[in-house]
Structure 1
Amino acid sequence: MAAELRSRRPMAYHSGNVFTAGDQGNRVEAFIVSATGEFTVVGTNHDVLDIARRENLPTFDLKDRFVMPGIHDAHVHILAAGLSRLSNVKPGFDATISNIAERLKSPSCACEHAHAYGDWIVGDLYLIENFDREALDLEFPNTPVLLRGGAGHGMFLNTAALERSGYSLTEPDAPHHHYFRRPDGTLTGEVTELAMTKAALALPKPEMAHIKRCILHAVKLLHSVGVTSFQEAASNTVILKALGELDAGGELKMDVQTHIVYKPEQLGEERLETLHKTLDDAATFQSKHVQTNFAKLMLDGVPLHPYYTHAGLTESGDIDESKVQIEIDDLTETVAKLDARGMTCKIHCTGYGSTRRALDVYKAVRAGNSHGPKHEIAHCNGVHDDDYPRFQQLNVTAEMSPSMFFVHPMTTMSGGLMDWNWGKMIKNRAHLTVGSDWAFQDPSILPACALIMDSVAAAFPAAEGAASTAAEAICRILTVAGAVATGRESRVGAIEVGKKANFIMVDRDLSKGEFEGAKVLGTWFEGERVYECT
């Protein structure tokens, strides 16, 4: 790493359409990046090129391309995404009960690193209607098969996988453990929410070398869509160790904030005992590009067919406690303890009730410590009108995700249960970030930005230039807002002197709302070009 820095020189970038996302003016033409990867000059072509001539600096012609700070993705599952690409089989999202076994045996479904899970077959899909393990047992009688689905909230297991995980075929019901059953009461093999715990813990863990390979692969894919910083939304001990080793070796070209799972085990895929020890020891995992003062809690499930495990409100307006998954007795106490350590909490909420419960908890914690870290609510697709003002009042970030669902057929099918109301959030002065919730799908956030333009514009007075105002607001949400949410605004998030040179070049002007079809042409991290469109 030292040799690499010695070989690098300052670079002058000129003739660009540069959206700084900063407070002191939005547009510049040029900037200089130091050998150590920071902006040292930001301004006009005349000033930058004059300095370049006097100091004999190499130059880079931006050719009037649009440039802005690197994107911050507020919700990523980096290891799951890498494993999905390198190790998981893909039977296709159109897989059915009648063709699933055939799909899994097809050579086109094979994966180069499928052996990462030992003798298990692990795959990704959304849903199989009326799933029954019998559909897999005939072709895979002794091989455990585990297919992840339901936007990460469900699993489809054959009999061998159920038995290897320690389930009884007559597994008893338990709170928030959702089992699908045959008419005789035995398990079909489809499980959701906390019922996934046994399988999540039993699934063999890949070797560390492969885990790091998967993370690096996923990081490169994020570079290709302009991401230079992300929040890992379900961190565990293995992920932290891998990130630390990659960073120590100079391989991690990304800023990462790791939300270490407090509960539940199925989310962290690790026992609570070790997850909580890792939370206690979080500072020891911190490194140059990895911040570990973040925690993750999960209050409910998902408002998707056929699960509907989100916590809503009853007819009388009370929180539906039957859907709240974390023991309420210790939630406020736990968040207060983490808050006192300076750890930002991200609480998963997808229903009106869970969102209100999280805000209630944050209110109680704020009463005891008004200057604590800026906490978050993940997803924010179910927010009651009475609760929009509370985000700003309590200094809570509204992390809007998954971006792929902002406008989607499944969103429409939810019957209003998934509603990311950007206009109401902005009018109520909520601090907003965007997350892809990337694990299996396309990681790019930009296509979703094209679809929310009207919703964002609704927050601004109808006037000439309102579309550009909305587009610039989205660009700030993608960049500097993420830096503020994670406490790094003094170092990143804008193209300003003294900040890290994390920026992207795009083939069209995003600040004018040209998100549809936008292609990232280049991504720079600390002044180093880490992606170039070919």
Structure 2
Amino acid sequence: MSTQDRQPADFVVRGSAIYTLDPARPWAEAFAVRDGKVVAVGDQADVDAVRGRRTKLVHIEGGMVMPGLVDVHAHVGFGGQAAGWELRLPPMLGPDQILDAVHQHARALGNNDWVVGGTVSSPVFHALGNRKALAALDEASLGRPVMLRDDSLHNRWVNSHAMEILGVDGTRMEPARGGWVCDGAGRPVGILLGQPSTDAELAVRRSLEQPHHRDLRSARMAVSIFNSVGVTAIQDAATMGAWLDVFTELDHAEKLNAWIVGSMPAREFVESGPVGTDLFDTATVRRSAHVRPDFVKGVLDGVPMTRTSKFLDPYKPEPSAPGGAPNGHVCPFYGDGLFSDEELLQLLEDAVSRGLHAKLHATADATVRQVLDAVAVMRERHGDGPVFHIAHPEFVHPDDVTRFADLDVVADASPVLWFPTPMNGAIAQQVQDHYMERIWPLRDLHDAGALVAAGSDWPVAMPTPNPWLSIETMVTRRSPDPEFPGSLAADQALDLETAIRAHSVNGAQAMGLAQQTGQLSPGMSADFIVLDRNLFDTPVEHIHATQVRQTWFAGRRVHRGS
């Protein structure tokens, strides 16, 4: 028996298969909890040893009990806003359906309220870069300003009223970073690429009467959604100071039902506010029991769909991204990085000198290599202490696969795109065919000894942060939706146990929470979930339909399913 001491437990869980994810005891008959922590795990007789007269019994019939899941890459605030306040557009919608949804949503708003929402899939987004589409959006919006996000979260579609608010006309179309797409006559068509998206988000923010009150509600809604799918620990992938304040305020009020690890941006990306060292220096005072602002965030490139990722081999010669070849480039075009080598090393030094770690967005093989080269320098200077994540390593050169393990770099395997989707169809139109044959090389990375930790990138990649779809498709590399047949780089599939670990203990380790959550063993937070099925007795193609009957965080039940 594993026990901390012989004090009576508050409650004991038994009656169902319990998958602990503890290598020393993967399965157990029961476990006991006291003061929000696991105090005993083992056979029924062993755990009964810590029961007292007031110890409650939580008896689970059927299904399976396991630790709460860990999402290593999500956008908590944005997700809560999208779920609670915004126009939700399934990424499968075409232009006419999107316009109809905008029209219906606008009817319920005030005259000056923004229509804000997403997601517009990349193929549809690319088709909207013309004046005809802008006129249709103007008509559908009933005079309200509109801002719709694409599936990368890097770009926006806005209408003429929004452009008026942003001060955009034919003479101002090239901000410092990114740009406005224009037609052949030089007129903006309402497509924002990169930095102007931040300007639009800020304009929406300025229009709100009580932004902090709404942020509190949005954060609680987001965590509730995560709890409903079994997630009890989240790494927020781009955490501004205002959101850290929201999370800690909720935590101090005992209203935050998840661990949240913050990733503080090095530069403005989507939201405005202090960034870089001005933000990093506030990490200590913004820390609370369950809020850990322990990472910095650097975005080294964009996304392949809009030819803003940086590759070692050039893009296909005929661009289909809006506006043609970016920045006036002609093929061969490899994409441009957003950090020089010197700037990246300075960012990592800024982080490490403050006791922080780094999550680095790098989607293509050239920027992945740039990160690995920088980490090699940091390892020589600082040893094994700092933690480094490469977020979205969709494309990794074969020569660099083993370097993840050699340099102890976490593969943040997010978003959920390792199966056929419209987004991957859009990527295939841009990159050379050999890249798609090795997209998301999860098996190679795992076999080489790299730590693979999974995330949802909600709400960018998915309407809900569904880890069960993610787990299933890590194993099958196929979509459960028959509308998208076939598989994607099937030789990169993982086995079920490895996929589950990528969504639990691996994520906890990657986020610095390995001693707090991710498995059921004595001393760990009592974060656990009750499922409607045993995953190991379920055909893998049915795992996406898994339902969470109960979610418990720190010994408190925070979700009960229907």
- Report the AA paired with residue 11 of structure 2: M
Residue 484 (1) aligns with residue 509 (2): yes
Q: Which residue of 1 aligns with 2:393?
A: 380
TM-fit CA distance, 1:86: 1.4
1:251 aligns with 2:251: no
Match of 1:330 in 2: 343
1:297-337, Cα deviation, whole Å (9 max, x unpaired) = 10111122xx1221111369xx9774212344311111122
Residue pairs, 1:423-434, within 5 angstroms: 423-434=443-454
For residue 29 of structure 1, give the secondary structure of its aligned residue in structure 2: strand
Residue 443 in 1 paired to residue 465 in 2?
yes
Partner of 2:119: 125
Number of the residue aligned with 2:374: 361
- 2:271 is aligned with 1:277: no
**Larger mean Cα displacement after TM superposition, 334-343 or 215-224:** 334-343
- Equivalent in the alignment of 2:320: none
Unaligned segments of structure 1, at least 5 residues? 1-7, 457-461
Distance in 2 (CA, whole Å) between partners of 1:118 and 1:204 is 13
C-alpha distance in structure 2 between counterparts of 1:493 and 1:320, whole Å: 43
Q: Does 1:227 align with 2:221?
A: no
* Structure 2 residue runs without a partner (length 5+): 1-7, 316-331, 479-490
1:342 equivalent to 2:355? Answer yes
Question: 2:168 is aligned with what amino acid?
Answer: Y
Match of 1:266 in 2: 269
Equivalent residue number for residue 170 of structure 1: 171
1:66 matched to 2:88? The reply is no
Separation in 1, partners of 2:23, 2:151: 41
Q: Number of matched residues?
A: 504
Between the aligned residues of both structures, percent identity stands at 27
1:40 corresponds to: 39
Paired letter, 2:233? S
Change (3 A) 1:322 1:329: farther
CA distance in 2, matches of 1:430, 1:358: 15
Give CA-to-partner distance per residue, 1:391-440, whole Å, 9 cap, x none: 11111100101125544343245225561122101111001100100015
Q: What's the Cα RMSD here?
A: 2.8
TM-score normalised per structure 1: 0.87
| Amino acid aligned to 1:314 | D
Contact 2:390–2:409 (Cα < 8 Å) also in 1: yes
Evaluate the alpha carbon distance shift between residue 215 and residue 393 of structure 1 in structure 2; reply closer, same or farther with a 3 A threshold: same
Instruction: State the partner residue of 1:238.
Output: 242
- Decide which moves more: 424-433 or 163-172: 163-172
Structure 1 distance, partners of 2:242, 2:314, is 43
> Partner of 2:220 in structure 1?
216
After TM superposition, list the pairs within 5 Å mapping 1:307-322 onto structure 2: 307-314=306-313, 322=335
Cα separation, 2, equivalents of 1:82 and 1:365:
36
Measure how far apart 1:171 and its partner are: 3.0
Q: Which residue of 1 aligns with 2:25?
A: 25
Q: Corresponding residue for 2:319?
A: none
* Alpha-carbon distance, 1:172 to partner: 4.5
Residues 144-198 of structure 1 show CA distances to partners (whole Å, capped at 9, x for unaligned) of: 2111113312101112212312334333446751432111012111012234232
In structure 2, C-alpha distance between the alignment counterparts of 1:104 and 1:374, rounded to whole Å = 43
Check whether the contact 1:70–1:523 (CA below 8 A) recurs between aligned residues: yes
Tell me if the contact between 1:233 and 1:259 (Cα under 8 Å) persists in the aligned partners.
yes
Residue 505 of structure 1 is matched in structure 2 by 530
* Stretch moving more, 80-89 or 193-202: 193-202
User: Is the CA contact 1:21–1:475 (under 8 Å) kept in the aligned structure 2?
Assistant: no
Letter in 2 for 1:423: R
| Distance across 2 between alignment mates of 1:57 and 1:237 | 41
Kept after mapping to 2: 8 A contact 1:350/1:382: yes
Distance 1:528 1:167, change over 3 A: same
Is the partner of 1:125 in helix, strand or coil? strand
Q: What SS does the corresponding residue of 1:336 show, helix, strand or coil?
A: helix
| SS class of match (1:323) | coil
Q: Distance in 2 between matches of 1:288 and 1:410?
A: 38
Contact 1:503 1:524 in 2 (8 A): yes
**Contact kept? 1:155, 1:191, Cα under 8 Å:** yes
Q: Report if aligned partners of 1:20, 1:496 keep a CA contact under 8 Å in 2.
A: yes
Alpha-carbon distance in structure 2 between the residues aligned to 1:315 and 1:266: 26
Deviates more, 1:396-405 or 1:217-226: 396-405
What letter matches 1:21 in structure 2? L
User: Cα 1:154–1:33, aligned 2, differ >3 Å: closer, same or farther?
Assistant: same
CA contact (8 A) 2:66 2:530 kept: yes
Quick one: distance in 2 between partners of 1:219 and 1:453? 27
Task: Output one character per residue of 1:511-531: Cα deviation in whole Å (capped at 9) or x when no partner.
Answer: 456424211111110111111
State whether structure 2 residue 515 is matched by structure 1 residue 521.
Answer: no
